[in-house]
Each structure stands twice: as C-alpha cells, then as structure tokens.
Amino acid sequence: MQAKGFGWGLGSWSGEDTSAVTTTLNGALLDDTAGTGGSGTSITLTDASQFPSSGTNFIQVGNEEISYTGVSGNNLTGITRAVRNSTRSGHSDGATVTDSSEFVAWGEAASGDLVLEPGMWSIDNFGDKAICLIHDSAVFSWDSSLTNATETRAVIITGAPTASRHMVVSTPDRHLVFFGTETTIGDTSTQDDMFIRFSDQEDINTYTPTATNTAGTQRLADGSRIMGAVRGRDAIYVWTDTALFTQRFIGPPFTFGFAQVGTNCGLIGQNAAVEVDGAAYWFSENGFFKYAGALQSIPCLVEDFVFNDLNTTANQLINAGLNNLFGEINWFYCSSGATVIDRCVTYNYIESTPQRPVWTTSTLDRTTWQDSAVFGKPHGTDYDADSNDSYDVVGNTDGCTIYYEHETGTDQVTTTATTAITSNIESGDFDISQGGDGEFFAKIRRFIPDFVSQTGNTQITLQLRNYSNDSQASSALGPFTVTSSTTKVDTRARARAISLKVANTAAQQNWKLGGFRLDIQPDGRR
C-alpha cells in the first residue's frame, strides 16, 4: 500500500492500484467522448456487480482513465472520458476493464494511516556555492561564480551523505553539517534520525574523520528524531522532537562540543524556529519557547486557540518568519482540516514583557518567508487554489504560487489592480472585576479613540457577551466611524464581557493604535 503523504514525487513511481477488480467491455468504445457504441454517457460491462456505485469512481481501459458517477445493472453511467491526464483512444469489445477508483498516481496523495513528511529543502551557502538538501535525500551544490552559472545545473556533492533530514553550514569555521543522516555514507538504509555528521573544515567533499582533519560525527541522546537546526550567533541550535541542544565549534580534536540545554521543548516542524539578536524562538508541541543562554517558556495568551485550531498531521509544514522591522515572529500553520498554510500566530518580541506578552492571530498565509535583511522589505509566497495555470503548482489541489513584497504602502498592488488590505485588531474580553469577574454588568456610555497615526477612517465595534458560553454580539449602535478629528463617541452598551474591534476596509487607509479610554461603570447584577 502506498502511504499518504505531502509533496512532489513521494509516492510509488507510476502509481499503483490497490483494488484491482476486473471485467470486460460489452461493446466497443470509439475514440470519442461518448459511451458504448459511440453514443450516450454509459459504458456497458460484462459484469458491473463488483464496481463501486456511490460517488465519483474510475475505470481503466488500456491506458485511458474514465470516470463515472453511477451504476445501473451492468451499465456505468455519467461517464467522462480521458480523465487523470490520460489519453483517449478506441477500445474493442471484450477489452479488459479495471476498477481504478483506488489508483494512486505518482506524487498523488493516497488513502492510508501513515503520513509521510513533506519533501522540503534545506538551503544554505558555502561561499559562492548554494548547498541544497532535499529532506531525507541527497545534497546538491550549485556554483554561482561560474560564467555560465544560470545555464549550469546543480550537482550531487561527491563524498557527502546521501540521506539526511537537515543541513546547515556552520560559521565562521565553515563545516557542512548534516542532521539525521547516515552512519555509513552512501548506504541509505543506515540513516539514523538522531545522527549528526560534519565535513572537514573548508572541504564539503571529505567526511571520514582522520588525525589530520576536523570531520566527525555525533549521536544525540534525547528524542526519537532531529527535527531541525538553526545557525545562531555563537552556536548551532539543534532540536529533536523532545529537546534542544547547542553545537559549538571548539576546534581539534573534537571540533564541536554538544550540550543539551532544554527538555520537553522539542521543535514541532523543520522550519518552525528562528534566531534573532542572540536568541532562538520556536514553536513546540508543548508551547512556545525562547533560548538566550537559558530556556524560557513564552507565555502565550492565544495558545489554547492555536493548538485547538492546529492540523497536527501537517506540523512539518509550519514555518517561522522573522519581520525585524516590527520585532515580529510569525508562525504560519495549517488550521484544522486544512492541508495548506492558512493561519498565522505572531509574537512581538520587542514590545512584549513577562507580564504583558504581545500575541496576535490572523489569516496571513505564507508558505515561505524571507526577512528584510536581503531585500530591504520582507518577502513571502503563498499557495492559492487558483485556475491560473501560468504559475501552476501541483499539490493536494492544483493551484498557483503568489509572490508578495510586504510593508510597502497600505494596499495590495498587482499588475492589474489596487485593492484594500482589510485589516482589524480585536481585544480580548474585559469586564468590571468589582465583586468578582462577571458578577456585574458593565455599562459603556462613551469612548475616546486614540490613534498614534491615522489616515482615512476606521470602524470601531463594541462586541458584547453576557455569559461565558454566549457568542459575541455587536452593539446595536455600532459600528462607529472614527475620523482623525473624532474626539469622542457617545454610545450605550451593556454586557458582562466586552471586547473592542478596530478595522478598516477601504483603500488608502492606515492607522496605528494608541490607548483607548472608555466611560464604563457597574450596572447591576441581574
């Protein structure tokens, strides 16, 4: 059985059929779009009793795939010829017909209870060379200094491991380090998910340790597999599924020193960690963590929401994106039921304090992210289930990739249109704690908006809830339009729990929130 997986080319080559029920054609099929005898939308079989009859199913005749939607006696009804990228042809009476409803094509997800990890890449540079590792496979080198570099393909690095989970170039010592790699180079059956191998210094082709080189190996002890690694200011941070290790260059004869610096804090996905200003931040199955000489659990006010919203079968797709222009770390993830990135949780490491951590959630969906250090602005891409075949991407659902430059202007600009970026920020519930949380109703008579800066209008909505299990309801008098000259807004609202939502929906509008003040007082217990 082919296992269900994500990514390109992870399935069986040329596919396989997991339920090969066969019969024969009762009548010829012509090279046209019709059914038996060149007419109608039905195909007559010798015996259709064993073929699935509910939903959309498939048969294979010769090399042609045909879909059908129903069975009537020995007739397959609602047929569509030449599906699944097959080629239509004529078929003679008595030709073999195979039920291919459970056929699994190359690179296509199959049903099963095993989930493979996605075929992701680790990419780093070794001087002018780009070093590229495909997850659990070989490593390639591409030399950008060649005069015909753009016409020269990357090549597999001679002497390097042929199956590794992750790869990093260490600096400034310049070793090529492989994680979750082979104990015997060239023998993929020896791949050990906890094994580390590093090259000789300044030599990406030498990995056998000798008395005169700095190549070597190390096996970590805590965890079942290495999840990822990030190069930091003075060490490489290495995560397993349960722990954090540091890998520091110490020179010959040991080359690197390894130390376990955290437990119960493993990395949730290969790309779910970043390093900034000497500190590592990461997403774990046990929450969010920081390491800056000591392990810290980061208080997260939206942690329950994120973990309840998370598709845990797609953890390896989670990726972290640093936006240093605003001191933000974004973790992009698949929500429950989604197979592509569609959600984001953001931590502001500059504005946060231990007493007041700053977290937000959003629908920002980026499959890749590059901080402003390279381009001056952050850049990212996302997957879009679009019919635009100019940039076709084959995945769980065919679509396209859209490339974005962030933090430029206030609107979304394409080659054809400028549209507003709909934005909002919503507070958590607040109440009057006099006498105990939720004991008193609160009455809001007015509020004073405060914006550090504002262009255009904003919409202010008071969202009300009387009981913990109630759904939020907007105040009947809102939403309120606030301009840059609005000094106060009179209103009447009453609830036990109140939240504030600030939004804009039009082009050429932007705002930076200050501190709002509300005229609020207790309003009885009934």
pLDDT tens, residue by residue, 404-449: 999 888 888 887 888 888 888 888 777 776 554 666 788 888 888 8
Digit-coded pLDDT (tens) for 310-339: 999 899 999 999 999 999 999 999 999 888
Q: pLDDT tier at 400 (50, 70, 90 boundaries)?
A: confident
Average pLDDT, the chain: 86
pLDDT at position 110 is: 46
Cα–Cα distance measured from residue 486 to residue 505, given in angstroms and rounded to the nearest whole number: 18
pLDDT tens-digit readout, 28-50: 999 999 999 999 999 999 999 98
Max distance between CA atoms of the chain, in angstroms, equals 85
DSSP per-residue codes, 378-433: -EEEEEE----GGGEE-SSS-EEEEEEE-SSSSEEE-SS-EEE--EEEEPPPB---
Distance CA 341, CA 349 (A): 23
Peptide linkage before 449 cis (omega within 30 of 0)? no
Q: List the domain boundaries for the chain.
A: 19-101, 117-298, 299-408, 424-522
pLDDT of residue 1: 23
- pTM of the complete model beyond 0.85: no
What band does 463 get if pLDDT is binned at 50, 70 and 90? confident
d(CA 55, CA 102): 13
Q: What CATH architecture is 424-522?
A: Sandwich (2.60)
b/e 353-376 (16+ beta carbons within 10 angstroms → b): eeeebebbeeebbbbbbbbbeeee
Among 342, 341, 347, smallest CA distance to 329 is for 347
Residue range 117-298 in CATH 3.30.420.40: no
What tens digit of pLDDT does each residue of 250-265 get?
A: 999 999 999 999 999 9
Q: What is the structure's pLDDT at 395? A: 52
pLDDT of res. 113: 46
Q: Which residues of 45-54 are buried (b: 16+ CB within 10 A; e: fewer)?
A: beebeebeee
More confident residue, 393 or 63: 63
Q: What is the pLDDT of residues 73-85, one digit of tens each?
A: 999 999 999 988 7
pLDDT reported for residue 128: 93
Phi and psi at residue 216, to the nearest 5°: -175, -175
Bridge partners of 383, per DSSP, are 401
More confident residue, 62 or 387: 62
Q: Could you give the CA distance from residue 35 to residue 403 in angstroms, rounded to a whole number?
A: 44
387-419 as b/e, with b when 16 or more CB fall inside 10 Å? eeeeeebebeeebbbbeeebeeebeeeeeeeee
User: Which residue in the block uniquely carries the two structure tokens 């030599």?
Assistant: 203
The model's confidence at residue 69, banded by pLDDT at 50, 70 and 90, is very high
**Nearest-angstrom CA–CA distance, 327 and 164:** 33
Structure confidence at residue 415 (pLDDT):
78
Per-residue tokens: 333: 């993830």
The predicted pLDDT at position 126 comes to: 95
* pLDDT above 90 as % of the chain: 57
d(CA 241, CA 223): 6
Q: What pLDDT does 525 receive? A: 56
Instruction: Give the C-alpha separation, 473 to 43, whole Å.
Output: 55
What is the side-by-side strand order in the sheet with 489-495?
Answer: 489-495, 442-448, 517-522
Angstrom distances, CA of residue 506 to CA of 283, 404, 434, 462, 510: 34, 20, 40, 20, 9
pLDDT in tens, 141-165: 999 999 999 999 999 999 999 999 9
Alpha-carbon distance of 474 to 500, in angstroms, equals: 10
Residue 130: strand, helix, or coil: strand
Q: Which pLDDT value is given to residue 384?
A: 79
